[in-house]
Structure 1
Amino acid sequence: MQAKYISYQETGSFSKLVLDYINNDEALKAFYSYRPDMDGLSEAINNRNFLGNRTTLVEVLKSQYQHLNPNKSVTKNIELLALDNTFTVTTGHQLNLFTGPLYFIYKIVTAINLAIELKIAHPEKNFIPVYWMATEDHDFDEINHVSVDEKNISWIQNTNGATGRLSTKTVAAAVLAYQGYLGISKNGKRIAKLVQQAYLQHDNLADATRYLVNNLFEKYGLVIVNADDKQLKTLFKSVIQDDIIEQNSAKNIDKSSTELEKLGYKTQVNGRDINFFYLKDDLRERLVFENGKYLVNHTEISFTEEELRTEIENHPERFSPNVVMRPMYQEVILPNIAYIGGGAEVAYWMQLKANFDYYKVDFPVLLLRNSALLIDKRSAENLYNLGFALEDIFLPVEELKNIWVRKNSTAQLILADETRAINSIFDQIKLNAYKIDKTLSVSTDTAKQKTNHLLANLEKKLFRAEKRKHETALIQIENVKKRLFPNGTMQERTMNIAPMYVNYGEDFLSTCIENFEPLGGDFTLLLP
């Protein structure tokens, strides 16, 4: 495949905050520590003060991988994490069914490529790409479906606990439906087998996801972390206790959110007074403080302050950070340098820096994940034949149609010159009328407005009539737009890896590895 790069601005799909961050806007500098470039990364490496325990981290990872039989690249990277000159590059995501939307894949590729670039720049150090599984998340409705060929495949299951612990006993119907789409080609059969082994031969969603993602990316040494672990939570328990009792994060995050909003930016997350859940099998509920006690929402479970301290000391694994505290947990247990996230993630991490500063935890380099649009051969040929550049596909469909009609019309469709001429005549009439009777100028303005309105309507009718003459070309424009923007949204936000893998196999992943530029600052167009 070939790659072409365009600016994120040209896509019209990224928020003002993200674009300002990429463009080094002065107003945002208080909300992050280092620039997302090689200089900023080098500074982060030199200043990294790791508060976790490398021995514990390696032990936990070895335990989590013991039934997986990982390849030498993964095994070596886990071992390297024991060394003080080893750092991680991390991305995180929910346990979406069959990997979910394509941007999940793009996140991991960005992390892998950044680790490679850092190793080249700092050969005396080691950089490990990490996928942090959001195993403690409990919003199953967000992850229990996948879109293939504009059809939804869903996993029907009732749960209120952490999705990573969810049994895979009821997923067989979804697996069968997914395999039905994949077909009988060599590529289709390979990914079908992977999915079957992942989801039908593992007891829970965390292990199933690890198996699938490992098989897709183990050759690149990707290490997959499940932080729903007592040993890892023990490293974080002092923060858990302080934050629940003193409610520091609520105050720090609220202040940063207010400052961002004053600058005109939309904030992504809202902190709570207590930013932890109480976690057991089939239960993940918010902790709230009422009438001098710590209550587990929607249950009869409650703690006095002393009982809470004891529970945290003895069972730190039962305290699950929410969206605003999870990043800090990550940075405490991993020797991390950079976090790879989508636009919304980059935005909400900026709400968190003041809280990191309060707890004296190093804030990583925030890096926008690579985004891509794969333009199939048929769509590319359609665009070229219609006279468009590839990047034009990001324009709204009606704008594309109007551009095409203007370029290919034999008649004059824009009445701008005529409108100016008529307005000039009305201005002269108004001047003459004013000399006769001052009140007549109002009537002249009214007549002018009516005429302009009639001309505008006539211009629309001319466009509609010309469009009817070019129906075939305009339908082609609609079809290309629908193919590349399924359901009217970015391809990477709705489409699953399945069609890409069926059509291109391993070449699709290797193409992403070859062409994504983590520090390039551009959107990637991929062409077979």
Structure 2
Amino acid sequence: MDTDEAFCYHRIAFKQAPHISKLIRNYLSGEIPKPLYSQSPNIKGLLAQAAIKKKHFSYRTELNKALKQQYQRCLFDKVEGQNVLENIDLLSKENTLTITTGHQACLGGGPLYTFYKIISAISTCKKLNQLDPQNQYVPIFWMATEDHDWEEAKHFFFEEEKWVYDQEVNGPVGRVSTEGMKEWLKTFAAHLPPGQVTNEIIEHLEHAYLKHNNWADATRQWAHDLFGQHGLIVIDGDDAELKKLFAPVMLAECTQSFAMSDTTHCSKILEENGFQAQVHPAQINIFYMGDGARTYVERTTSGYNLNGLSVTEEELQQILEERPQDFSPNVVMRPLYQEWILPNIAYFGGPGELAYWFQLSDIFRRFSTPFPVLLLRHGFALLEEKSKQRYEKLNTTLLDLSPKIWKETWVKKHAQVRLHLDEEKTKIDRIFSDLEQLAGQTDGSMMGAVRAQRAKQMKGLDKLEKKLMRAEKRFHVESMNQIEVLSQSLYPTGIPQERHDSLWQWWSAIGKNPLEMIINIADTDAPPEDFVYITLKANS
């Protein structure tokens, strides 16, 4: 247990974390086939990838120009602005590389793990800048502004309550208007306890959503306000100049449908190793957004359908060249777009996100584009100090609080009597084995009756075990109730806290912004190898 005046924390290896899938555990241990990834997810692999990417990237001038234009719409003070602008300028240099993470442009950042992704990129860039002074490493947050899943982007949770900015949307979330956010923020502020902490939270959200008229610029603003001092560059892929660079690839996908065939090989390797493919490519993995909606480009007998507009292949090519911003790569093609326009060496994602990247390496090979190092983002679970005191008093461990196992785990550990009847089952099994042998020697037709009786007795012992467990739970009812509160704080609604709670909830709970404390911990483990439980001490 490491401690600080403001927090203490406890690490467990990712391979022990209950929510990390077998696929990701195998990957971190080097136990999946090499065709699915490029370099190992460690410092050595990152440095090797840096040497490769420097030889395979040439769009530095275009990237620098596009980012400067995007940041004209961002408000910043001298220190934060200077750090970011310096990093944008560094991208013009041949020895500057990036580490990227990305997420949907969710209201207020959405769940905590959005912020953990960004922290992962920042901390790993710091580490590489210390270890490799020959190069410069810059953290990037890719806003998935072209995503049209408004249901996921329009809300965050504050404790048990779901706060939703309800608006009818049928196109990219980055283009959503912030016009109604003033009233929405008034309603949200009224829900919070009055005081300086609430004022800070509302000021942050107002600076993002009331100073900008669309979701993309608002998202860049809150990300910059929280992380700009660390030089984080926020990029919007919904950009005409950047898409112009990628237009030939989008045209190739429309005319050749290469993504569907190129994912087949890696998907088969996954399945042969006992894992399921996470994404299933469409016939054409490019959307059309020319009329505001976001619909797939479809092939027809006479050419292509662009959301009701019929065009020939020549007309499609002309539209793509003249208005590349009207086209959008889907989840299968977006990773290639990202690596096409960035001098990127690594991508930080969550367990499910990395799983679909494993299907994509052949797409990258087709275009001789280096496949980035895939890194599992930092994982944290936050606890208030009273929660830490409670689980220590109850003599339980944080790993024991998983919602699927905590009741049985705790009761077995503290039971007054033996709850498993394994010995009795073994004895009965031996008895019935002898009876089967006897029945076989006398009348073979009795074998079925003996086996049925064996199954009945075993089933009876299973029921008895469950009754013993229920009785023991009743005996420990007070402790069980306290542990349930702990489990729900780590797994609200049965899912990991980082996928549910918002930053603003924890900012309010402890009376200060927890991000800098979390960054301090992340800096000691970059790229991460552990899941970390953090006890945050509230402002007195």
1:477–1:60 CA distance, 2 compared to 1 (3 A): same
Do structure 1's residue 124 and structure 2's residue 134 form an aligned pair? Answer: yes
What residue number does 2:35 align with?
30
TM-score by length of 1: 0.93
What residue number does 2:3 align with?
none
1:106-505 residue pairs with structure 2 within 5 A? Answer: 106-280=116-290, 282-297=292-307, 299=308, 301-394=309-402, 396=404, 399-421=405-427, 446-504=452-510
SS at match of 1:520: coil
Distance 1:329 1:476 in 2: 49
Alpha-carbon displacement from aligned partner over 1:44-73 (angstroms, at most 9, x marks no partner): 111113444222212221222124243221
Distance 1:337 1:75 in 2: 21
Distance 2:485 2:510 in 1: 22
Q: Identity percentage over the alignment?
A: 36
Alpha-carbon displacement from aligned partner over 1:238-279 (angstroms, at most 9, x marks no partner): 212222222222221233323322332211212122111112
Alpha-carbon displacement from aligned partner over 1:303-360 (angstroms, at most 9, x marks no partner): 1111111112211221111111111111111111111111122111111110111011
Contact 1:386-1:404 at 8 Å conserved across structures: no
Contact 2:240-2:324 at 8 Å conserved across structures: yes
Alpha-carbon displacement from aligned partner over 1:346-385 (angstroms, at most 9, x marks no partner): 1111111101110111211111111111122222222222
Distance 2:439 2:266 in 1: 61
| Alpha-carbon distance, 1:412 to partner | 4.3
Pick the aligned partner of 1:520 from 521, 528, 534. 528
Q: Where do 5+ consecutive residues of structure 1 fail to align? A: none
TM-score by length of 2: 0.91
| Alpha-carbon distance, 1:444 to partner | 5.4
Q: Name the amino acid aligned to 1:256.
A: C
Distance 2:119 2:203 in 1: 22
SS at match of 1:375: strand
Contact 2:73-2:217 at 8 Å conserved across structures: no
Distance 2:420 2:266 in 1: 49
1:417–1:179 CA distance, 2 compared to 1 (3 A): same
Distance 1:359 1:426 in 2: 65
Distance 1:308 1:439 in 2: 76
| Alpha-carbon distance, 1:430 to partner | 7.0
Distance 1:136 1:454 in 2: 57
| Alpha-carbon distance, 1:445 to partner | 5.2
Which shows bigger deviation, 428-437 or 100-109?
428-437
| Alpha-carbon distance, 1:458 to partner | 3.0
Q: Name the amino acid aligned to 2:175.
A: R
Distance 1:432 1:352 in 2: 60
Q: Name the amino acid aligned to 2:315.
A: E
SS at match of 2:189: helix
Q: Name the amino acid aligned to 1:344.
A: G
Pick the aligned partner of 2:88 from 68, 78, 103. 78
| Alpha-carbon distance, 1:181 to partner | 3.9
1:427–1:60 CA distance, 2 compared to 1 (3 A): closer
Contact 2:403-2:491 at 8 Å conserved across structures: no
| Alpha-carbon distance, 1:493 to partner | 0.7
